[in-house]
Structure 1
């Protein structure tokens, strides 16, 4: 009887060790899955940030170009006025 009890205890210990190993493997698998999910989320966030950054740069460039166009129009208008004044002065002299 003692021998049978000893064998059952030994098998129970082995089963417990196998369960511990299985639990550890499961935890490692879950950790790997969690790490993979985290990396995927980080990549998505990185891509979203890059897209927003590019969009903001595009908006900033567009704003600068609009400002430059406005400045060029003002300069053109000023030049036209000056040309008109010079033309009037020339007409007076002729």
Structure 2
């Protein structure tokens, strides 16, 4: 029961902070959501047999597959996975 009380109190504290300012939302997206998405995309690609590292995946997502083709060996489907996140965000709005 103590754990339930603790979680309830934390939820109450979070609710008191709402709504977030736009600058706070941007900071959360940059510091929490974007790194999480990158980690999920890189892990998903590795499960599918992709040999790209986390940083290489980040480079492909930020600069594009064609731009990175000369410096990175191996196939990349990172763009497809990132599209899923963008679609998910649009559906949530």
TM-score by length of 2: 0.28
Higher helix share: 1
* Larger relative contact order, structure 1 or 2 (CA cutoff 8 Å, min sep 6): 2
Point out the structure with max Rg over C-alpha: 1
TM-score by length of 1: 0.28
